[in-house]
Chain A
Amino acid sequence: MPPLLKIRNIVIEGQTGENWEPIVKGLDLTLHKGEILGLIGESGAGKSTLGLAAMCYTRPGCRIASGSIVFDGQELFGMPESQLRNLRGARIAYVAQSAAANFNPAHRLIRQYAEGPVQHGLMTTVEAEANAVAIYEQLLLPDPENIGYRFPHQVSGGQLQRAMVAMAMSCRPDIIIFDEPTTALDVTTQIEVLAAIREITARYDTAAIYITHDLAVVAQIADRIMVLRNGDLVEENDARKMLAHPQQSYTRDLLAVRSFAKKALDADSEVILDVADVTASYNGQDNVLEDISLQVRRGRTVALVGESGSGKSTLARVITGLLPPSSGSIVFQGEELPPAMKSRRREELRRLQMIYQMPDTALNPRQKIRMIIGRPLQFYFGLSAQEQEQRTLELLAQIELPEEYIDRYPTELSGGEKQRVCIARALAARPALIICDEVTSALDQLVAEGILRLLLDLQRKLDVSYLFITHDLATVKAIADEIVVMRDGRIVEQGPRNEILTPPHHDYTDLLLSSVPQMDPDWLDNLLAEREAA
């Protein structure tokens, strides 16, 4: 039987200024009916571009230069747009990473579901809406009869993602392209969506291309895996075989990611940050934080773990004084900090620095690195231009970037390099404590690992403390001395790392820990069976 989709020697180019540079460099891809193919790679690998090419679609600024895309016996490359339109949505559908951005905010969910089948002439509106309810039910969405009549902003992230899977299913396509559909979700929600995708593709025998940067996720879903890097194929194999016997060193690196862990340190250094009974709210009524008490010791790392909405970042805002608490106290190096940032002294500001999730938005794109790192040197220590330059060069050496970067702009740096500059900017103030807010979650796994190693190394040399906010438990294992688990604005459990990570766990900690995907193709099955039984 011929394959459902056969892409051969495809070259896709992206426009940079006047030139067209290849993004996908002559790849082949074959997909059979009902098969799930995992495309994995880091950002810039060309996996989304290749996935979209299966629909003969390119984003603005890209073009398919050559090659062939044969779907169900028809060549798509060169087919007129009007004919391609008949295939898109109807026979090949797409599920995007961010459901919140990909649903039209002006229309109700069910209307967006029904639009495809009605416009392609497959169903009447009434049929399509009845059908939507059935699919919503199969995807275990709550209240399937009525949920469709909500607007996208009225349902939670995980539900919206499942509603998008439902929408892709609306015409019963032969192929669905899943483009990082769980990357923006919490681990516990990710499991629901993964289970929903597996269930629905199996039920309708739908073939799928599943794009992700997370090998552990793709291991749960794919029959076959292609590893891509810089627009080239690294290796391709049956999923189980690849996990058991990776052939290429790059694949082995991806498999071994975050296998390192910090050595356990004794807890007897002095307390430098003491947060006591802090309660805070944004509107004066509903508390986003309640009775938070935690301590950070010199030269140690406290990891603050929790799902989105648990109040982790709000706590960082309270500690830095951006959001004064309604009650409670913050004692830093023996002195109580004024609640609001604007009443803190410069010296108090200096000792407490912050690094953010998005290095792209945290750095001013119109300032050179010299100025970005030089500014705190001048602000806190009043260094002259020459002293600033000398100190900036020292800092660049500490973050392992070459000296010539001093005259570059942020846009000339990669994501990991930008995050290193953010670290240097925080270090420039010679702080006692750095609050790291999800500093690795916007980065590729291998790059993130480099950043974590750098942070550990700096801690050893400079005896700086970290309050490390993250939703990623693998990161926690790698860097934390102590762990604080938060949920709904309260602390659920806190203690030394090994204590928290060793059973018996608190129920919620257990839910979080067991939800982290493992590099084991049977992990999801076992977990779902276990939870079913419990």
Chain B
Amino acid sequence: MQQWHFHPVVRLLAQRIGLGLLTLWVISLLIFVGIQLLPGDLADAVLGQSATPETVAAFRHELKLDLPPHIRYLHWLSGAVEGDFGRSLANQRPVAELIGWRFGNSLFLAGVTALIAVPLAVVLGLMAALYRNTLFDKLISTSTLSVISFPEFFVAYILIALFSVQLPFFPSIASITPDMGLGQKLYAVFLPCLTLALVVTAHMMRQTRAAIINILASAYIEMANLKGLKRMRIVVLHAFPNALSPVINVIALNLAYLVVGVVIVEVVFVYPGLGQLLVDSVAKRDIPVVQASGLIFATTYVLLNLLADILSILCNPRLRSPR
């Protein structure tokens, strides 16, 4: 029998990607079933109470709602794989067109936040580990803990009260349009960005600090001390590379949260993102839009976690260069 020998990293990556696809498939199933279980009927919702049974039946037939669920699922899944999410029931426009630019906006908000929050969190985490139990560390720990403890809509309203009401520096409504320049856009999203950054930085920073402090108890850190190395060098060059795996994972989790969990922040700042659209569509029973948004959120989540797995594998020398 022919035995195939792949580099272990290749094998692991193939495994992770396979698992990711499997997860997505399960999620598509869950989304579909979940929406079937939603109370209320679309035809009733659209046509109103006064519609005759005949009209309702015709409407259901037109939207293929009268087909058995598994057929509808297969239709929907095969369309989604090809990028065709159907048409919105509320206004008959293609779902892809509705979602496209909003998802772009959500990514823009999340991306800008990540660019600020990730480096900030890692540097603060390193500093807190370096100056452990000093005033600096305690200050950082207390302030990040307080920020985590508040719900994000509260943080958002506080920021609005401070920076657009008391001191009118930034707009409290973050409306952006495609024809705005980058500078204008950045100015518009400043407050939602800051809100999100405050929330995710705290998580990532605390995880970075904990991972490094955990590593600082290792024998090779004692050895680095006994080699007479400076503390900064020990933390950054000896502890941090070994703490990468947990740090990468918490970063990925927070980035996924940024994309997926911005619903509340988008609503508070009336930001035209995917979260806002999702909330509206659920209210209108616009099933194709809800399903598509759910699937996009899930894909983002799975992709980011996959990326974290891959990076963790790549930064482990045992896996990268086996014996």
Contact = CB atoms under 8 A, between A and B. Distances in A.
A107 B242 CA distance: 10
Contact of A115 (B218, B225, B229): B229
A85 B230 contact: yes
B229 to A, nearest CB: 6
B134 to A, nearest CB: 15
Interface stretch (A96-104, A354-362, A444-452): A96-104
Interface in A66-116: 84-90, 93-94, 96, 98, 101-107, 115-116
Contacts of B218: 101
Interface stretch (B167-175, B200-208, B247-255, B315-323): B315-323
Contacts of B25: none
A154 B322 CA distance: 7
B241 interface: yes
A151 to B, nearest CB: 5
Nearest to A149: B321
Contacts of B37: none
B203 to A, nearest CB: 24
A405 interface: no
A252 interface: no
B96 interface: no
B321 A154 contact: yes
A313 to B, nearest CB: 20
B39 interface: no
Interface string B207-235: 00000000001111011111111100100
Given A104-B242, A119-B228, A119-B233, A154 B323 contact: yes
A89 B227 contact: yes
Contact of B226 (A88, A103, A107, A285): A88
Contacts of B323: 153-154
A57 B224 CA distance: 13
A3 B217 CA distance: 34
A245 interface: no
B238 interface: yes
Given A151-B317, A153-B318, A154-B321, A101 B220 contact: yes
Using C-beta atoms within 8 Å of the partner chain, give the interface range for chain A: 20 to 34
A120 interface: yes
Contacts of B220: 101-105
A55 interface: yes
B35 to A, nearest CB: 44
Given A106-B317, A153-B317, A154-B321, A119 B230 contact: yes
A89 B228 contact: yes
Interface string A15-56: 000000000000000000000000000000000000000010
A104 B228 contact: no
Nearest to B321: A151
Given A105-B242, A106-B242, A96 B219 contact: yes
A89 B241 contact: no
Contact of A102 (B223, B233, B317, B318): B223
Contact of A105 (B3, B228, B317): B317
A96 B219 CA distance: 9
Given A151-B318, A154-B321, A119 B229 contact: yes
Contacts of B230: 85, 119
Q: Which of A60, A104, A154 has the largest number of chain B CB atoms within 10 A?
A: A104
Contacts of B228: 84-90, 116, 119-120
Q: Which of A89, A94, A106, A285 has the largest number of chain B CB atoms within 10 A?
A: A106
Nearest to A94: B226
A67 to B, nearest CB: 20
Given A101-B219, A104-B238, A105-B242, A115 B317 contact: no
Contacts of A88: 225-228
A88 B225 CA distance: 8
A115 B222 CA distance: 15
Nearest to B227: A89
A501 to B, nearest CB: 35
A104 B236 CA distance: 13
A167 B230 CA distance: 17
Contacts of B233: 119
A116 B223 contact: no
A13 B226 CA distance: 20
A96 B222 CA distance: 10
A219 to B, nearest CB: 27
A104 B224 CA distance: 9
Contacts of B242: 104-106
A118 to B, nearest CB: 10
Contacts of A105: 220, 242, 317-318
Nearest to B315: A106
A106 B220 CA distance: 11
A66 B318 CA distance: 44
A89 B229 contact: yes
A59 B223 CA distance: 11
A57 B3 CA distance: 53
B226 A106 contact: no
B318 A57 contact: no
Contacts of A102: 219-220, 222-223
B215 to A, nearest CB: 10
Contacts of A285: 3
A105 B219 CA distance: 11
A127 B238 CA distance: 22
A115 B227 contact: yes
23 contacts: A57-B225, A57-B226, A59-B222, A84-B228, A88-B226, A88-B228, A89-B229, A93-B226, A93-B227, A94-B226, A96-B223, A98-B219, A102-B219, A102-B223, A103-B223, A104-B224, A104-B242, A105-B318, A106-B242, A116-B228, A119-B228, A119-B229, A120-B228
Interface of B: 3, 217-220, 222-230, 233, 238, 241-242, 317-318, 321, 323
Given A86-B228, A104-B223, A104-B224, 5 more contacts: A98-B219, A106-B317, A115-B229, A119-B228, A153-B323
Please provide the 4 A-B residue pairs with the shortest distance between their CB atoms, ordered closest to farther: A89-B227, A88-B228, A89-B228, A101-B219
